[in-house]
Amino acid sequence: MDSSSSSPSSKPPRSLLSLPADIRIIIYSYALTWPNLSDAFALTQKAQGIALKDYEHLSSPLCTIPRTPVRTTTPTILLLNRQITAEALDVLYRTPLVIPKPPPYSHVASRYYDIFEFVPETLLQSAWRVELVLDAAADADAALRWDGGRKFWRAWASCLASLLLETWIAKGHSLRSLVIRLNEPQGAGLGGHAQYPRGSMLLLLRYGISALGPIVKVEGVRGEVLEYLTGRNGSGILE
């Protein structure tokens, strides 16, 4: 068949916006995803270790060593035009954001990296569905250390303070669902060294559950409801 006789509808679209909306949504779901935070935290921690090694021959205090920055990039799909950016972000916001662990500790700054350095605060406020995975049983330090994983609880307390207190409760949110999965080692017990950061973290969770209301769901890793956090059995949160 002669190409000159082909109908106009057989011609390929001239741009992304020429495609039907449902096709664009499928493209956005592949082109734009939340960052893999486990990988991002690990890369930052590795870069920090390399930087510290470069300065280990110096007698200067840690506070004089430049802090390792978090390296992020803007996906190309968000750099095309305003309509595509708005449509792509709308698809992203509906996709669950999983935070599988807290950000790493910065030895130079003597504090934890902020979650906002990996996911901008405005995106966290616009996200519809977020899942926090507080899995102490899967954390090598929490499972093996004699102090019951003090570092694990302290890191999560810092992260939850940023998410719950400084952002979602203080500045607003678009959350439809916040799932908190909490898992502690069976029979591990808690020494005095770990009790304070754990209690602090659980108090933050309890306050967040109360302030954010029914959008919050607290589960174990197998989906069981954790009544000592939801308060449905009247028990204290530190039991």
Helix, strand, coil percentages in the chain from 3-state DSSP, rounded to 5: 50, 10, 40
What's the pLDDT at 133?
Answer: 93
Q: Quote the DSSP letter at residue 71.
A: P
Look at residue 144 and tell me if it is in a domain.
yes
Is residue 67 included in any domain, yes or no? no
Residue 157 structural domain: 96-222
221 vs 180: CA distance, rounded Å: 9
The first and second tokens of residue 160, run together, are: 């939850």
- For 111, the enclosing helix (H) or strand (E) is strand 111-112
Q: Would you tell me the crossing angle of helices 82-93 and 21-31 to the nearest 10 degrees?
A: 70
CA distances from 190 to 30, 86, 198, 202, 223 (A): 43, 47, 9, 14, 24
Is the model's pLDDT at 194 over the cut of 70? no
Q: Which residue has the higher pLDDT, 211 or 109?
A: 211
113 within a domain of the structure (yes/no): yes
Could you give the percent of the chain with pLDDT greater than 70?
A: 73
Q: Model confidence over 95-130: pLDDT tens digits?
A: 999 999 999 988 777 889 999 999 999 999 999 999
Chain segment 81-91, per-residue pLDDT in tens = 999 999 999 99
- Decide if 150 is inside a domain: yes
**Which three-class secondary structure state does DSSP give residue 131?**
strand
Q: Which residues contact 12 (CB under 8 A, 6 or more apart)?
A: none
Whole-number Å distance between alpha carbons of 213 and 216 = 6
Asked whether residue 169 is assigned to any structural domain, the reply reads yes
> Would residue 27 count as lying in a domain?
no
